[in-house]
Structure 1
Amino acid sequence: MREEVLKIYDEVVAANPNFERKGKTMPYTSANGYMFSLLNKDGELGVRLSKVDIQSFDQTYGAHPFKSHGATMREYVLIPESLLKDKTQLGAYIQKGYEYVCSLPPK
């Protein structure tokens, strides 16, 4: 399952010229000193969103907490399987994550 999610994640990230995938064993994207998407060891994908985007995401998909290494990642939502099948919409949410971290003060 993790390999399937990684393939989708790589494809969606590669389609966006604003950022690139980093990390060999723990794939992620980052900008402005902040991570905004992450594939955990369980093969789950999480995206960091603004409060407004989390509310919208929750209404559509149900915002479940995203965990990595046993810790709940604040401001991250767990990407459900149904969204993994919609690469265009998944890409839009990763873009929203990128825009959100770019709006934060640089680290």
Structure 2
Amino acid sequence: MAKRSRDDVLKIYDRLIAGTTGFERKGKTTPYTSINGNMCSFVDPDGQLCLRFSDTDLATFQERFAAPPVLQYGRVMKGYAAVPEALLNDEPALAGWFERMVANARALKPKPTKRKRVN
């Protein structure tokens, strides 16, 4: 099967986000989600959906799907896995992994905002 277009991946991504309470898509060039200042998923410019997992879930995901590490700007992104085409074709299963990603993100220590306050 041919690789999905970035637009198709973004449609799947939007459906996953819509099914998650208190979650919204951010970013124009590189769409992403974050919780408490921690980025937890994104779609890269090539249309690859990447999810951030706990160490345990990451190991399970990589073993089950032979998912490669996520490389951005020549560096491995710790905790992230690229979603394979086969899983994109199984949205109910993908939704389960998305929920695990959200649970992990909600458990992470909040990062302080870098925005300057306007008085």
TM-score by length of 1: 0.90
Q: CA RMSD in A?
A: 1.4
How many aligned residue pairs are there? 107
Q: Distance in 2 between matches of 1:67 and 1:4?
A: 21
Detail structure 1 runs of 4+ shifted over 4 Å in the superposition. none
2:59 is matched by which residue type in structure 1?
Q
Tell me, yes or no, if the aligned pair for 1:36 and 1:98 is still in contact at 8 Å.
yes
Q: Which amino acid aligns with 1:104?
A: L
Match of 2:108 among 92, 104, 107: 104
* Bigger share in helix: 1
The answer for the alignment partner of 2:44 in structure 1 is 40
Alpha-carbon deviation of 1:81? 0.3
Distance 1:18 1:93, change over 3 A: farther
Given that 2:18 and 2:24 are in contact with CA atoms closer than 8 Å, whether structure 1 keeps it comes out as yes
Rg (Cα) greater in structure? 2
For 1:46 and 1:37, locate their aligned partners in 2 and report how far apart those are by CA, in whole Å.
6
1:42-90 per-position Cα deviation (integer Å, ceiling 9, x unaligned)? 1101000011101211221013111234432111001000111111221
Identical columns (%): 41
